[in-house]
């Protein structure tokens, strides 16, 4: 949220931080003409036109950029700032749309989610042109979106649901602890670029749904938003919640390396051993991972790192009789989940998997700074409207920074930009 002095006097804050200017750049970057034309046609010549659709649309974008969570809070910003009213085409405080007009406009927007998704896809494609390497390193995860509706039966929000799971962690004294996490609401599934920390595709589901079943649809959305994604992407980092054969196959079909932490399983379930426990030389030294061959669909393992024949130094009692050669481990549908193109014990795997933290930072920005968490809305479609607005504004702001050549600031938010 904005600091208190910003809320009291946004125009004075503009001298130190060009907030209104950046919000104007976001509005300009989002091409909403087709959506506004559809809304005007839907309203018709005899519909209620107290407030223009363009004004209401610009106001909602302003609310998303400021991270407000309620319409009343957004109206208060408009009453305090003449600059914000000018962006929205509002002449005076007395002509600001009331909260009921915004609620009606939200309901109308919920019938045009396809238009919001098309605008988001357009921003993703523009970012791919302006940002070098965009879409090469990916990360996927979901985040909880709390609903303030009453979760008791019958629930005030029928589309939301309860989610409960056990969280294991280590306390300050190093002792293992467990806690129960429970919330009522929704989940937002995100596919993001791990370097620029920008969303490529998003999907909203109810809280009780697991992550893995939604991944094929999320991946399909990512390829729809960025058609060349399957040729750009090299890896996708995911947590244990996505460790399913279907997820591995989905990425493998597009020649994208699945970097997924393996779940703890019983010996019966984990019949295929991991390569680090089975690839050894005659002297019981682990073989050195030597890369992956896409043509042969196989992992390469060469002689050990400390082999005297490799470094021409050291001693091995079997060096004279050892006939160790290059070993290839074929990958197919039966062992794809356990092996993968990048062994889990390698430094490359750890480097790629560390990129998963990018999606955690995107989640934090969406919820805390773009106002997505604790939405005061009921119903999946109305929550989807606010989620799409936050995603649109995040990418639109990043695009405005990229077009100005300020590539180091594409991850920032509107009200944290310095002059």
Ordered by start, the domain boundaries in the chain are 4-112+388-416, 131-265+354-360, 275-333
- Cα torsion 152, 155, 161, 165 to 10°: value is 0
Phi and psi torsions of 303, nearest 5°: -60, 155
Give, as one character, the DSSP assignment of residue 366.
Answer: I
| pLDDT higher than threshold 90 for residue 392 | yes
Average pLDDT, the chain: 83
pLDDT class of 4 with cuts at 50, 70, 90: very low
> Which single residue is written with the structure tokens 């046609």?
41
- Cα torsion 164, 166, 169, 173 to 10°: value is 110
Query: What's the pLDDT score for residue 53?
Result: 92
In CATH terms, 131-265+354-360 corresponds, of 1.25.40, 3.30.420, 2.60.40, 3.10.450, to: 3.30.420
| Rounded-to-integer distance, Cα 62 and Cα 393, Å | 9
Q: Which residue has the higher pLDDT, 310 or 177?
A: 177
| Rounded-to-integer distance, Cα 181 and Cα 56, Å | 38
Number of other CB atoms surrounding residue 292 within 10 Å: 19
| Rounded-to-integer distance, Cα 394 and Cα 234, Å | 24
Structure tokens belonging to residue 314: 């050291």
Q: Which residue has the higher pLDDT, 155 or 11?
A: 155
What pairing do the DSSP bridges indicate for beta strands 137-146 and 235-238?
parallel
pTM for this entry: 0.85
Q: How far is CA 138 from CA 12, 222, 352, 356, in A?
A: 40, 11, 9, 8
β-bridge mates for residue 206, sequence order: 186
Name, of 116-120, 151-155, 401-405, 410-414, the range with top average pLDDT: 116-120
| Rounded-to-integer distance, Cα 142 and Cα 83, Å | 36
| Rounded-to-integer distance, Cα 64 and Cα 312, Å | 64
Phi and psi torsions of 345, nearest 5°: -90, -5
pLDDT class of 418 with cuts at 50, 70, 90: very low
- Distance of alpha carbon 388 from its chain centroid, rounded? 12
* pLDDT one-digit tens code per residue, 182-238: 888 899 999 999 999 999 999 999 989 999 999 999 999 999 999 998 889 999 999
Contact 219, 202 (CB under 8 A): no
Query: What's the pLDDT score for residue 48?
Result: 66
| pLDDT higher than threshold 90 for residue 119 | yes
pLDDT class of 278 with cuts at 50, 70, 90: low
Query: What's the pLDDT score for residue 12?
Result: 55
Helices (H), 131-214: none
Q: Which residues contact 63 (CB under 8 A, 6 or more apart)?
A: 71, 73, 74, 77, 371, 389
* pLDDT one-digit tens code per residue, 309-362: 666 666 676 666 676 777 788 887 777 887 778 877 778 889 999 989 999 999
| pLDDT higher than threshold 90 for residue 134 | yes
| Rounded-to-integer distance, Cα 232 and Cα 220, Å | 15
Query: What's the pLDDT score for residue 34?
Result: 93
What pairing do the DSSP bridges indicate for beta strands 327-330 and 298-302?
antiparallel
């Amino acid at each position: 949220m904005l600091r208190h002095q910003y809320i009291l006097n946004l125009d004075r804050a503009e001298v130190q931080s060009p907030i209104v200017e950046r919000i104007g750049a976001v509005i300009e970057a989002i091409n909403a003409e087709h959506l506004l034309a559809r809304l005007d046609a839907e309203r018709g010549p005899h519909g209620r036109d107290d407030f223009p659709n363009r004004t209401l649309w610009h106001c909602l974008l302003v609310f998303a950029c400021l991270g407000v969570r309620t319409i009343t809070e957004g109206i208060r910003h408009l009453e305090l700032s003449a600059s914000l009213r000018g962006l929205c085409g509002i002449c005076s405080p007395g002509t600001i749309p009331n909260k009921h007009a915004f609620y009606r406009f939200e309901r109308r927007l919920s019938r045009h989610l396809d238009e919001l998704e098309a605008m988001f896809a357009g921003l993703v494609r523009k970012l791919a042109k302006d940002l070098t390497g965009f879409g090469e390193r990916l990360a996927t995860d979901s985040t909880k979106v709390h609903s303030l509706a009453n979760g008791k039966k019958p629930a005030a929000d029928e589309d939301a649901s309860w989610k409960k799971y056990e969280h294991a962690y280590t306390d300050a004294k190093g002792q293992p602890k467990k806690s129960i996490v429970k919330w009522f609401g929704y989940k937002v599934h995100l596919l993001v670029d791990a370097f620029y920390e920008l969303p490529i595709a998003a999907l909203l589901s109810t809280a009780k749904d697991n992550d893995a079943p939604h991944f094929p649809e999320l991946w399909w959305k990512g390829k729809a938003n960025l058609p060349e994604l399957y040729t750009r992407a090299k890896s996708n980092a995911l947590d244990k919640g996505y460790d399913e054969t279907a997820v591995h196959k989905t990425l493998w079909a597009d020649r994208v390396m699945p970097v997924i932490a393996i779940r703890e399983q019983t010996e019966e379930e984990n019949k295929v051993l991991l390569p680090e426990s089975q690839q050894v030389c005659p002297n019981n030294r682990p073989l050195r991972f030597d890369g992956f061959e896409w043509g042969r669909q196989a992992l390469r393992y060469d002689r050990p790192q400390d082999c005297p024949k490799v470094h021409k130094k050291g001693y091995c009692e079997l060096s004279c009789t050892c006939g160790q050669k290059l070993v290839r481990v074929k990958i197919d549908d039966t062992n794809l989940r356990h092996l993968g193109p990048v062994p889990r014990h390698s430094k490359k795997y750890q480097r790629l998997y560390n990129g998963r933290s990018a999606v955690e930072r995107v989640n934090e920005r969406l919820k805390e700074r773009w106002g997505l968490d604790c939405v005061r809305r009921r119903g999946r479609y109305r929550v989807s409207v606010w989620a799409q607005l936050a995603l649109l504004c995040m990418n639109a702001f990043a695009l405005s920074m990229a077009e100005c050549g300020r590539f180091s600031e594409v991850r920032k938010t509107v009200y944290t930009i310095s002059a």
